[in-house]
Copies of this chain bind each other. A is one copy, B any other.
């Protein structure tokens, strides 16, 4: 049986950067060729980046994607890689003359300087963060490519992402078509513990296809999403053969011994195999087979990350790529000495290095001495830039002109801080980071245009209890490596306070965070109603109180800055609620 050296290029594209992404894929193909690969796989919509959203509706963007694909095929040939088949995800469109274009989430096989075969994604996810039903027309043909491998040939089926999550789809047809390998190119976002789902899923599809599956995923942040890599090769019997690390660019190179194709593809008509709903389109790659690489390639299986470590990595990568892909030189944030801003500062220093992180302490008359000390301590521990900008005189000037009391005075302090940070952003070019956690945002415990000011919020989808856990994990990890733990112990242990009035505590206004987060997990992440929450053992009065807070905070939450997703069910783009909404659980 022939041996095919596969290269899975786990790369980090930028949405809209067709030239940059083509260069990225070209570089991956060169590296794969240097490693002796006979087939290179790259992620879903890797040429356009994912998700391109309404860019898909621009005719000029579709044409640019198609042109970039042809250009890449030519460039690969110019690099001496004409005989190296490369699978590329791109945006395509077809349709009859005079008809509206059908836009396609497509995979192409490039070979000999040309586009040899293409496949249109069959299953278009339209849930959670996905809106592909809005953008694409589903394909209904399975493309099988006959690749020359050594002196023989191997039949390879192409699939894209969601095709993998559906039983009885292209993978079942691939079995009837008798393929030797199924390729699955993906742009699959991080969710907590999603890697625990992926391997069994790929194994199920490999069993369904009766063939190994090569699963390649993108890596890196794009707005609210983080792609976590986790590319892998799984045998037909479900055995994990190789697996890339998560959250890192990687080229996974691995030798696979595959059954040689024996039938004559020219004899196989382009019709559905018995019992299958899909047409199979067979394409033979002609021309000389690429010489196999020397020796043996073993991709290896990367170490797993534990639950907290993976969240930390996701937040770091999401923040890093938001800043870098949008070309911000640096970030700035208010340092209150509290846990949230301390964790955001530590994340930012991990993502960008201390020189690109600017902390500002903005004490008012209600700021405690320990808060100022903790903020300075955080800055000293992480090495970020640090300055103190007291706000009281500016606050007093507003108070002299306005007759304010109570909540309006509390909010005013937060808003003066917002103005201050935005002024520094305008003057010095920093992106402002917001630091409100998911629990606060859920119940509206924040000031609109105050602490909600900023372009990116790493904690948007992180409940308060997980913020503490992250701080403890990061400190312990530093200590284990003999480094200075970044988060001051006092920031972790002291009772949380907004410090907007004397002796204020979060617990004056909110339930304890462990109780609050458990109810929020059910109501927000689980879409559970009041009755279900009470049946699950939560105190009925507390459930009513929390649900009331969440319902009345919907509007405010809509205004908060984009941030990083760590689960599918979360605040933000993937949770779309009417602002005007009178539904109440009771």
Contact = CB atoms under 8 A, between A and B. Distances in A.
Interface of A: 14-18, 20, 49, 51-55, 57-61, 63-64, 126-127, 131, 133-134, 222-223, 321-322, 325-326, 389, 393-394, 397-398, 400-405, 407-408, 411-412, 415-416, 418-420, 422-424, 426-427, 448-449, 453, 455, 527-532, 555, 558-559, 561-562, 575-585
A449 B419 contact: yes
A48 to B, nearest CB: 8
A136 to B, nearest CB: 11
8 contacts: A16-B582, A20-B582, A61-B529, A222-B580, A398-B419, A407-B426, A449-B449, A449-B453
A431 to B, nearest CB: 10
A233 to B, nearest CB: 30
A20 B575 CA distance: 25
Contacts of A53: 576-578
Contacts of A393: 397, 400-401
A398 B420 CA distance: 8
Contact of A562 (B60, B325, B576, B579): B579
A423 B449 contact: no
Contact of A420 (B133, B402, B527, B559): B402
A555 B127 contact: no
A123 B574 CA distance: 23
A422 B427 contact: no
Query: What are the 10 closest A-B residue pairs judged by CB atoms, nearest first?
Result: A60-B529, A16-B583, A408-B426, A133-B133, A17-B582, A16-B581, A397-B397, A16-B582, A15-B578, A325-B580
B223 A578 contact: yes
A580 B324 CA distance: 10
A578 B55 CA distance: 8
Contacts of A422: 411, 415, 448-449
A326 B578 CA distance: 11
Contacts of A400: 393
Most buried by B among A18, A326, A422, A585: A422
A529 to B, nearest CB: 3
Nearest to A63: B529
A190 B204 CA distance: 48
Contacts of A559: 559, 561
A379 B393 CA distance: 33
A95 to B, nearest CB: 16
Contacts of A404: 423, 426-427
